[in-house]
Amino acid sequence: MRKLLLTIATSALMATGAIAADPVITVDPAYVEPSTGFDWDGFYMGVGLSGSSLSNGIVTDTTGYLDLIAGFNVTSGDMLFGLEGWVGAYSDGTNSGWSGGAEVRAGYLISPDALLYVSGGAQFYDAGARYATLGAGAEFAATDNLTLDVEYKYWGWSNNGFTGHSLGLSALWHF
């Protein structure tokens, strides 16, 4: 009986050693490597909705915009540098037409999927009005290729005496 117990115990120890030395590894074929974050580099295009309130101290003009947007970003570590342009339609309820503009921006990636930035640029109108703009915004990755951007702009230094503010929301597709 003692010999039988010793044989069973020895066999069990040897089998345990073999199992420990050769673990069985299974791989789920549906496993996808986790993402390291959004790829901010390269071209993007999208649409934006915004509104502005401009005043010359006597008259206040509130205007809505629908824009087509195109841009390009380059990242360096957690810093982002970009150039963006847009063209679209505007209406203030009385007047309507087209406008466009361009801006440069510099930002900091607060996470792989979130960007805070500042911008500076210009806004032009078909009727000849021009503004210099300074802004700040936040952009968030919604999917692997889509970001949502919210931006505030101060409009100053115009050729018509008006200054003001705007707030916009954009959906941008990154290539």
Place of tokens 């990242």: 75
Question: Shortest CA distance to 89 belongs to which of 99, 104, 74?
Answer: 99
Of all residues in the chain, the percent with pLDDT exceeding 70 is: 79
- At 57-109, the pLDDT tens digits run 999 999 999 999 999 999 999 999 999 999 999 999 999 999 999 999 999 99
Question: Shortest CA distance to 172 belongs to which of 85, 65, 94, 77?
Answer: 85
* Tokens of residue 52, six digits: 């502005």
CB atoms within 10 A of CB 63: 20
Residue 23 confidence class, pLDDT cut points 50, 70, 90: low
CA separation for the pair 31, 54 (Å, rounded):
53
Assess whether pLDDT exceeds 90 at residue 12. no
DSSP category for residue 158: -
Q: Given this model, what pLDDT does residue 14 score?
A: 59
Matching CATH number, 42-174, of 2.40.160.20, 2.120.10.80, 3.40.720.10, 3.30.930.10: 2.40.160.20
For the whole model, what pTM was predicted? 0.78
Q: Given this model, what pLDDT does residue 37 score?
A: 84
Q: Given this model, what pLDDT does residue 104 score?
A: 98
* Tokens of residue 154, six digits: 């101060």
Assess whether pLDDT exceeds 60 at residue 4. no
CA separation for the pair 77, 139 (Å, rounded):
17
Question: Shortest CA distance to 131 belongs to which of 111, 91, 160, 110?
Answer: 160
Contact 88, 115 (CB under 8 A): no
Q: Cα angle vertex 45, ends 147, 51, to 5°?
A: 75
The answer for residues whose C-beta is within 8 angstroms of residue 99's C-beta and 6 or more apart is: 65, 87, 88, 89, 90, 123, 124, 125, 126
